[in-house]
A and B are shown apart, each in its own frame.
Chain A
Amino acid sequence: MEEETHTDAKIRAENGTGSSPRGPGCSLRHFACEQNLLSRPDGSASFLQGVAEKSRERLIRNTCEAVVLGTLHPRTSITVVLQVVSDAGSLLACCLNAACMALVDAGVPMRALFCGVACALDSDGTLVLDPTSKQEKEARAVLTFALDSVERKLLMSSTKGLYSDTELQQCLAAAQAASQHVFRFYRESLQRRYSKS
């Protein structure tokens, strides 16, 4: 007997105008989250072309597998469907956040929450968190990390470009600091949802 759980969560990483001020200490863009707004799953063909999508899928799947307590639901298949509504940079990080919120919305037991944070290193070594598409294209290196909520350990990392060991440590530290904001946002949005209903 197999039971399939489909959940869709829509997360938009909104890109403000070019001059939108970023908060002090942590420069993540504004983000919004709507949960459970589709009463029926999208169904239909998820046409995924190319090897890059396969590789991204694998990263997200392995991250989810590490946190989901699969042993509590034997002979069960959990399908996570991610639909890109718009891509304004930091796509993989946004997908990870969406996947985590969807799993929480579905009530799947997990050992920790996880969040995705992307950062870009430009040619003079300046670190930019949550880069826009333009910043990603011009950057020397783009690093995406998935961090867990319990001890901020590194669950997944996917990097593009050349960088040094010290730069990696800096990015990781910045990502760990930024993940606090993301987890606080998760908590607030869930509180809002459950206080209404």
Chain B
Amino acid sequence: MAAGFKTVEPLEYYRRFLKENCRPDGRELGEFRTTTVNIGSISTADGSALVKLGNTTVICGVKAEFAAPSTDAPDKGYVVPNVDLPPLCSSRFRSGPPGEEAQVASQFIADVIENSQIIQKEDLCISPGKLVWVLYCDLICLDYDGNILDACTFALLAALKNVQLPEVTINEETALAEVNLKKKSYLNIRTHPVATSFAVFDDTLLIVDPTGEEEHLATGTLTIVMDEEGKLCCLHKPGGSGLTGAKLQDCMSRAVTRHKEVKKLMDEVIKSMKPK
């Protein structure tokens, strides 16, 4: 009976739950789904992380390669993110060139990396003007159940923390790079940006961490990326119903609590991994 009502009137079905301040999966309006993270699972990548936010699963692999720096920034390396939403994660995506959602997500991650200065590009320089590191960050969604941006940001952060770069010296005589695979060092991660996504319902209600169905029924979405000092790297609101300043403030405070939760989780996982 409930399943029939849900198919015929999904919005009304949803509103009944929202009236009681909860959601169909039993969560409260400000509650996140269970977050799990697995770091370093891909041995062929220089750094990797798998993040599960409820059913949404995103895996990030980072590969480091050599590149020549551009002439106007000879001492800066590159960080190139790419978000892939393959057909396997959801029936709404077709195979072929990246669709709009994947492109927007890639641009979002690139903006977060750029704005938050998570890595100082100068740290990736090996020899100014000649050789720099380029980090290719590939984020692949394995299961799409809403809130892809939060999962991608977290996966990227965890993978970058896991990246180990070997020491490279330039041989003076041959001018070739010599890689010492025995000596590896971690990247210097300067900030920890954490994304919190909200969905707006009926122009008034704000719910945190929307699932795929909730995103579909929502009238607008909002993503806030915050670092540990409370500074905002990105306030991404792509249209949708309007928000007042007061509602925005509520979102900020929720984002601050979320940042603490995520940071704690990540530190625990990294600590448990250290003895290698």
Chain A positions 51-74 with a Cβ under 8 Å from a chain B Cβ? 51-52, 54-55, 58-66
Q: Is the interface of B mostly helix, strand, loop or mixed?
A: mixed
Chain B positions 57-115 with a Cβ under 8 Å from a chain A Cβ? 100, 103-104, 106-108, 110-111, 114-115
Q: Which residues of B contact A161 (CB under 8 A)?
A: 115
For the complex, what is the distance from the CA of A154 to the CA of B240, rounded to whole Å?
A: 9
With beta carbons under 8 angstroms apart, the residue of B232, B245, B248 that contacts A164 is: B232
A165 touches B252 (CB 8 A): yes
Q: Which residues of A contact B245 (CB under 8 A)?
A: 154, 169, 172-173
Measured as residues with beta carbon below 8 angstroms from the partner, the interface class of chain B is: 20 to 34
Measured CB to CB, the closest approach of chain A to B267, in angstroms, equals 22
Q: Known: A153-B243, A154-B242. Is A54-B103 also a contact (CB below 8 A)?
A: yes
Check A148 for interface membership: any CB of B closer than 8 A.
Answer: yes
Q: Which residues of B contact A163 (CB under 8 A)?
A: 231-232
A54 touches B243 (CB 8 A): no
With beta carbons under 8 angstroms apart, the residue of A52, A157, A169 that contacts B237 is: A157
B239 touches A159 (CB 8 A): no
With beta carbons under 8 angstroms apart, the residue of B107, B116, B232, B237 that contacts A55 is: B107
A62 touches B252 (CB 8 A): no
For the complex, what is the distance from the CA of A52 to the CA of B116, rounded to whole Å?
A: 18
Measured CB to CB, the closest approach of chain A to B118, in angstroms, equals 11
Check A187 for interface membership: any CB of B closer than 8 A.
Answer: no
- Tell me which of B107, B227, B237, B239 has the highest count of chain A C-beta atoms within 10 A of its own C-beta: B239
Chain A positions 138-175 with a Cβ under 8 Å from a chain B Cβ? 143, 146-148, 151, 153-165, 168-169, 172-173
- Tell me which of B117, B237, B240, B241 has the highest count of chain A C-beta atoms within 10 A of its own C-beta: B237
Q: Known: A51-B103, A52-B107, A160-B111. Is A148-B242 also a contact (CB below 8 A)?
A: yes
B242 touches A164 (CB 8 A): no
Q: Known: A155-B242, A156-B237, A157-B237. Is A58-B104 also a contact (CB below 8 A)?
A: yes
A59 touches B238 (CB 8 A): yes
Chain A positions 11-66 with a Cβ under 8 Å from a chain B Cβ? 51-52, 54-55, 58-66
Measured CB to CB, the closest approach of chain A to B247, in angstroms, equals 9
A-binding residues in B (CB < 8 A): 100, 103-104, 106-108, 110-111, 114-117, 219-220, 227, 230-245, 248-249, 252
10 A-B pairs besides A162-B232, A164-B231 with CB distance below 8 A are A51-B107, A51-B110, A54-B100, A55-B107, A154-B242, A154-B243, A155-B240, A156-B240, A157-B237, A162-B227
B-binding residues in A (CB < 8 A): 51-52, 54-55, 58-66, 143, 146-148, 151, 153-165, 168-169, 172-173
8 A–B contact pairs at CB < 8 A? A66-B219, A153-B241, A156-B239, A157-B235, A157-B237, A160-B111, A164-B232, A169-B245
10 tightest A-B CB contacts, nearest first = A62-B239, A153-B242, A63-B239, A157-B237, A55-B107, A62-B238, A51-B107, A154-B243, A159-B235, A156-B239
